[in-house]
Chains A and B, each alone.
Chain A
């Protein structure tokens, strides 16, 4: 009987405790998710915070606060509330790196353990517990504040922007603030990633960004490897055309700001021993589909239309005729120099580019002069036009 009552109590306890346990689990999951989101935000904004620090140091270089190198204690660095101490450590390191690389800022970081330590001072007026830099009289007694200044830096997320505030305080009993500055920036602006050895003003950095972004007038030299595959015909007497491998190069220019429109002119050569050779000329117009400006950080997708003139010759090029090949023609092609065919094409495709350095594209191509050729099938028919060729390309820009 006693055993039963213990089991009943245990079950009752479990029944009553279950919602609490479930609530704890939900709360833990919620907190874990918040931590994950905070870490993600810290990753995203720390480069923008670095930019603000760079701008601060650049300001000291171009308009120094002190006439000569002056010892300064990095007294406090605070980051947006909720983003934790990891970002604070990153920011402290970056401030130190930027100052060490730029001695002309005249800010000479010094180590002062007693400045940042908690000090307890008892006197006739009472007992005061402070940080060292808040109580310079105590620091003076400890002989640690002579001629020093304290640097305080705060970064805060205010709406969609990050705001950096900095102030320099002289460590004398009056604690006067000798300099302060506030810099605001939008976190949505791409981080400039300036090198600490070559800091630039925000205006110069913006101009560099615009120059890269616009890219108008810049001539690129693409090198492109293309495989053209021709659709197989279902005509019983048809001879399928082999895939053609092309190596193309030429020039590409940005026709508008930000390379939203680009155009290219390329020549190509194709060669497979004992099968075929070919030359081609190609012109294309590309239009950016993902946004209105070429991205410096994400892949860009272009749509394009183009025309090409292709001339091929060799034993395996007999398929580019408008009639079904006879056995005699095939034998003659193999034994002789082979036929030579020149035709024009119209292309329609998509081009995915990574930083305008490497790209992958696919396209459909129609051969107007060979629309009725029984040797070529079609991959797709759009508005009555047969697209007989499917092309894939890999392009490198130099």
Chain B
């Protein structure tokens, strides 16, 4: 495919939007937790995969409606996030952030072990939320799940923005990392803020994983590990602290991955899309370390 064909391909654009939106969602989860606790949560993606296994059980095994499975998945993820926050993160307030990050690696390994023990490695599928062939617009096929995925991405983005910008609690969440004392003074409890970021991050992760699964096809334990790396790249490109930036970063990572992938489909060198994402990370870090949307961090 030539560069022009690839760039103007509607199908590529739709895929880039869908994947980019999912990476954006994962990035938002990463950024929320980072703002709330100054910790990189390595289990961010895998919490969603555990939810996916619950959805599989409810939808594929029990034949329940999709939305029941989705609720089950989200509830499971939120429960894990809240429990971890309450019993690990909150007891480690005075520990170095690296130690807390290592605890999240512990959670990641725990979730993976649970998936392997109870589900095993055989590939599974969860059917999409809506049946049907979807839309065909000028030769571009968009599946119903992909449409829903775009809608949900936008809805989560807008909803979070409203919640964080327009409510006292939301402003407390935004300020928690910068000025904990001020947050306490306006009457927002820091423990609530922390719990909210871990819970919301887990819920968003479960949603993202649920929505991308039909586009990818099948899933096995560790399904989210690659998604997580790309979410991380998206968060970094967006500046690590900015929610808008996280979504924009997701779209950029999605675009780069899909475009490079379609251009190098026949290349004998494997993994060029991954290399290009790494190059993107390096370029952003070296040219604009605060990310495209992050505030410049004052050097103390």
Asked if A and B are interacting partners, one says: no
Which residues on A are within 8 Å of B, measured CB to CB? none
